[in-house]
Chain A
Amino acid sequence: MNMLTEGRPTKQEENIITPAQGTVQTHTGNRALMVDEPLIFETGSPDRSGVDLPEAPAVESRLGGLDRDEPISIPGLSEAEAVRHYTRLSRQNYAIDVGLFPLGSCTMKHNPRLNEKMARLKGFSDIHPLQPVDSVQGALETIYQLAEWLKTLTGMPAVAMSPKAGAHGELCGILAIRSALEARGDAREVILVPESAHGTNPATAAFAGYKVEDIPANADGRVDLDALKARLGPDVAGVMITNPNTCGLFEPDMKAISDAVHDAGGLVYCDGANFNAIVGRVRPGDLGIDAMHINLHKTFSTPHGGGGPGSGPVVFSEALAPFAPLPFVEKTEAGHFHLVEEETAEDHHESSFGRMVAFHGQMGMFTRALTYMLSHGADGLKQVSEDAVLNANYVLRSMEDLLEAPFAKSGPCMHEALFSDNGFANGLTTLDLAKGLIDEGYHPMTMYFPLVVHGAMLVEPTETESKAAIDQFIGALRSVAERAKAGDELLKSAPHFAPRRRLDETQAARKPILVWQEPEEYAEAAE
């Protein structure tokens, strides 16, 4: 077929002038598909609505004399405007659907759409948490089945399903540890956490009323077993260890660490954020762990949604199982599913530490995660961890001649590869490299974490990337890394092609503007 090319040049002629990016001004300030979108407060109106409602019955109100008589000042949009508003805004976002998202420790894998479809079945999405249990047997069975999968995959005998996210799961695990220790009359005050841990670990321990101390690391980026043993004692309630750790390395001494902590009367919490590296290949229950949360929004693909919702079920050892929170689901011999909540707590489960959230947890995430597990099966999940680790090692070995990989000499990494900014010239930093990657069409890797490596860059490609996609990413990363080492001044002002240039975070924090104000209020605030 011949393309009609008359009057429509398909290749650039030599005499066409291509102006430098940014020198062509448009009337709107927009650049084709890159379109700025005003706030709803600038375009909407309180008397406009995208919803039509029937007339209310003509009866007197009974609001106790507390009628809302002042303006609420929330603008509305018609449906047409609202759909366009959010669609335009969505196009200013990077997302997994748009490209590789190598955010270390966050496990940004593809979110299968079957999961979305299943979560929307009315039998899951349109049921109330307080319906009589006979009317929600399928929902309780879903929770039960997911719990069975999690127990089998981790080799742990019990699981608490209600925690709302990873950090909430950490809290669940630490409260169980504290309850178990209190039950044996052994008040202990200290939780040990490695310096390389996620910030949520020390924050959780403190939120639960513990003092936090660091566990030293050795030169290989792992827990220093001897130093840990030296610190253990009658005041140490337990340790919080991430395995694989945040340097992307497996802790080979994990069993010895667990044994040492147990010998000293403490308990072992494992941060399961990095479970994707070992799912289907290693069971945490075989490592002497007492509690571990599982981020369903990482390993089991429920969408991150721009910052949640997550879901953080916690698996428990025999030692902690009796202290698990309410509610939970039990299966009777007759095959009936029973919800153990307040009513039966005193009868059967008096040692439970209690309820940590209203209702029963993140059902919408459970249906998605179970769908994911059924899709992958035992064989697929093993392949998941193997491909995730393979992809990360491929990135590590394709980059280590150019970017310093501080722990690469000690062997392979797990599901994420860690680099430092050593060798960057001209004052360029990890931040500059990250912003340069944005111009190349990628979301940057995790930056400046873990804290134990200078200018850390933690790259987690995940198993859902093809070799071609990873090769393209490596090409981009190599190019930007070379520019950083050559001291390319232009990196300091990157990104150049994103919907926004670098944003002034200092100003945002100094005079926080957290809600929209009428323009005259802005003017006053500026004075």
Chain B
Amino acid sequence: MRYLPLTPHDRQDMLATIGAASVDDLFVDVPKEVQLDGPIRDLPMHAGEMAVEAHMKKLAKNNSAAGDMPFFLGAGAYRHHVPSSVDHIIQRGEFLTAYTPYQPEIAQGTLQTLFEFQTQVARLFGVDVANASMYDGSTACWEAIVMARRITKRGKAVLSSGLHPHYVSVAKTMARFTKDQLVTNAPVLDAATDGADLLDQIDDDTSCVVVQYPDILGRISDMSAIAEKAHAHKALLIAVVTEPVALGAIKAPGQMDADIVVGEGQSLGVGLQFGGPYVGLFGCKQKYVRQMPGRLCGETVDAEGKRGFVLTLSTREQHIRREKATSNICTNSGLCALAFTAHMTLLGEKGLRDLAMLNHKKAVVAADRLAQIKGVSLLNDSFFNEFTLVLDKDTRPIVRRLADQKVLAGVSLGRLYPDESGLAHGLVVAVTETTSDEDVEALATALEGELA
């Protein structure tokens, strides 16, 4: 067995040192009747690299990879080009096979990258501070709602209808157990977001308003009025960003006075990976820092006065506070945070802005081209790299048929909102720097074929 270094001779020597006759003697505390008498049945025996690789390749081949065909899916996970060096960096064994940096003297590599990551995220979001990552955007969103409850001591959260439906589902699942009250609605197919409706929902019982920016249909709107009304009622504005590249082009939520900004960082460095692992981003105003969930990396000095970094404010966390902790989170998304920060460092502000405008303008061209198709209209007045098309037919079966023709057309709203018949004609289309003009033509031709 290539991963197990002990030889039979080693095992005998070690048993002799221990004073045990056989390894079975080391399992004496396990009742005999629950010990298996041999290798577990119904599972194969060990296999070499070649056999395992063949097995896994067969599974991998039975998937349509995004890069092999025209591809337009987004809705919370975006396909961007990740610079080659990012994967080499995260495969450095010293990063890949390190643990959470509990011993800072021998973990400065991880800690300094986390400090840089926190700074990048805070600046991207336009807030004062950010943590060292969460599992993903959806869990970060729920944690933000819990944090707002802790701060305001109120239990009513108002969720925008433009919030990703999976994020809403996660919050609904959790709120059922924690007895938080959620105000939720499905989106309507309109060019305007639900910003005006949200204002009416904010009252003195409200802990927070949760607004996705850009929203699930790709629409962008100014959150300043929501922040103002929320603050007038001593409630918080939580902004949710599922496409961080957008913030290279549009105002940061912090510039509109959002109190907590959370997001999905997958777009930078991480890749699609069928939905995970991803990386949750979490930032907030300085005054709320002690109510944050998750790990925080902070700057300090060592005994010789040299700058160094440590995990800090751990009295918020489960390993110290146990049932009084701000969250139960322990392991988060360290390596994905490293991928995010390395990609962001390679971009820099100029690269990020260029990338964002490239995405946006390609999306503008694609939206106008697709809207020319008979039976297709463009919902959005504003968008970043994702927009909603309204077709004159039920979209979901079309998306399935186009996938069979090797065109991955986008995300049908029927998939995201199976119970909302009013959304069945919606198709959310994402366009990034990886989308070519030929891809757009292929989609247009395929849609024309379906709608003719």
Contacts and interface: CB of A to CB of B under 8 A. Distances in A.
Contacts of B295: 307
Given A167-B318, A311-B277, A412-B18, A380 B323 contact: no
A53 B358 CA distance: 8
Contact of B29 (A71, A89, A250, A383): A250
A77 B384 contact: no
Contacts of B132: 307
Interface in B31-56: 31, 33-36, 38-47, 49, 51-53, 55-56
A125 B79 CA distance: 11
Given A53-B351, A207-B328, A386-B23, A375 B29 contact: no
A367 interface: yes
A466 B329 CA distance: 33
Given A93-B108, A308-B277, A389 B26 contact: yes
Interface string B128-140: 1110110111110
Interface string A297-328: 10000011111111100000000000001000
Given A61-B360, A464-B4, A505-B312, A98 B93 contact: yes
Nearest to A98: B94
Contacts, number: 731
A333 B205 CA distance: 51
Contacts of B105: 435, 438, 495, 498-503
Contacts of A112: 3
| Residue among B49, B174, B276 with the highest chain A CB neighbour number at 10 A | B276
B421 interface: no
Interface in B290-338: 295-304, 306, 308-310, 312-315, 317-325, 327-336, 338
A307 B331 contact: yes
Contacts of A7: none
B94 A412 contact: no
Given A73-B349, A167-B318, A129 B100 contact: no
Interface stretch (A10-18, A137-145, A224-232): A137-145
A467 interface: yes
9 contacts: A74-B352, A126-B272, A200-B319, A206-B323, A354-B173, A412-B25, A500-B104, A503-B104, A514-B129
Contact of B348 (A44, A311, A498): A44
Chain B CB within 10 A, most for which of A89, A112, A466, A504: A89
B346 A175 contact: no
A357 interface: yes
Contacts of B15: 390
B27 A92 contact: no
Contacts of A117: 53
A127 B220 contact: no
Given A124-B274, A304-B99, A307-B295, A297 B10 contact: no
A508 interface: yes
B273 A125 contact: yes
Contact of A167 (B300, B323, B330, B347): B330
A475 interface: no
Given A76-B346, A87-B92, A512 B43 contact: no
A126 B64 CA distance: 9
B93 A95 contact: yes
Contact of B312 (A87, A396, A509): A509
B94 A129 contact: no
A168 B31 CA distance: 30
B62 A74 contact: no
A72 B124 contact: yes
A338 to B, nearest CB: 13
A342 B27 CA distance: 45
Contact of B103 (A36, A64, A297, A434): A434
Interface string A464-488: 1111010000000000000000000
B46 A377 contact: yes
**Interface residue range, chain A:** 35 or more
A517 to B, nearest CB: 9
Interface stretch (A259-267, A358-366, A418-426): A358-366
Interface string B262-300: 001000000111111101000000000100000111111
Among A86, A203, A206, A383, the one with the most B-chain Cβ atoms within 10 Å of its Cβ is: A86
B351 A411 contact: no
Interface in B390-435: 399-400, 403-404, 408, 411, 415-416, 418-419, 433
A167 B119 CA distance: 26
B173 A50 contact: no
Contact of B384 (A63, A129, A138): A63
B449 interface: no
B116 interface: yes
A327 B174 CA distance: 15
A268 interface: no
A515 B122 CA distance: 8
Nearest to A106: B99
A94 B45 CA distance: 34
Contact of B123 (A73, A164, A170): A73
B312 A354 contact: no
Contacts of B362: 56-57
Interface stretch (B66-74, B196-204, B231-239): B66-74
B56 A387 contact: no
A134 interface: yes
B162 to A, nearest CB: 13
A127 B333 contact: no
A123 interface: yes
Contact of B35 (A127, A281, A396): A281
Contacts of B273: 124-125, 127, 363-364
Nearest to A60: B364
Given A170-B328, A367-B56, 16 more contacts: A57-B364, A62-B383, A77-B348, A129-B275, A167-B329, A203-B323, A207-B327, A363-B276, A364-B273, A373-B43, A378-B43, A381-B40, A500-B104, A509-B312, A512-B298, A514-B129
B166 A467 contact: no
A166 interface: yes
B56 to A, nearest CB: 4
A153 B95 contact: no
Given A116-B91, A383-B1, A390-B23, A123 B328 contact: no
